[in-house]
Amino acid sequence: MGWSFWQVGIFMAVWTIGYGIVQASAPRFVKDPDGRTAAKLAFVLAAFPAAIATAMSTSIDSDVVIVAGLIVFGVVFAMNSAVHSYLILAYAEGSKVAMNVGFYYMANAFGRLSGTVLSGALYQWQGLQACLWGSAIMVLAAGLLSLLLPGDPARSRAPRVAS
């Protein structure tokens, strides 16, 4: 895209601030999230990198496609992240909250590292569009795995009654 150091820095600063605003506002827009909410948001999210990759093959200016697509992706991603942050606490059992939250953030860090390495390899091998398709596939996989989450966090912690 040929951006200068300052343009990249300003974009990243605005991105970070905007992401925080959206994530903090998520509870206003997503009421009573559960495992199905996480899955739905993941499926919506997966569409954006696929759409960006597809649009890059058209006559539309790639810079506009990438920036606009990433902004919309960032909004949905921030909402999804807020839902996941809520769910990890909602699903955690009282005596195991710290362990569950710690495990979540450890898994999150591993996922980010793996994604960074994989996307770097995809970029070196096939370019930006391959990274975007790889992202769409991985987010789709996350959505499928999210279907395994309990529907109601409160019910998942309820004591089981022997029959």
* Mean of the per-residue pLDDT values of the chain: 88
* 122 or 85, higher pLDDT: 122
Which of 52, 40, 110, 106 is CA-nearest to residue 79? 40
Minimum mean pLDDT range among 71-75, 84-88, 109-113: 84-88
- 119-162: per-residue pLDDT in tens? 999 999 999 999 999 999 999 999 999 999 887 666 555 444 44
- The mean pLDDT of 22-38, rounded to a whole number, is 88
Domains and CATH numbers, the chain: 5-152 (1.20.1250.20)
Burial of 82 (C-beta count, 10 Å sphere; 0-12/13-18/19+): buried
Who's near 9: CB < 8 A, 6+ residues apart?
Answer: none
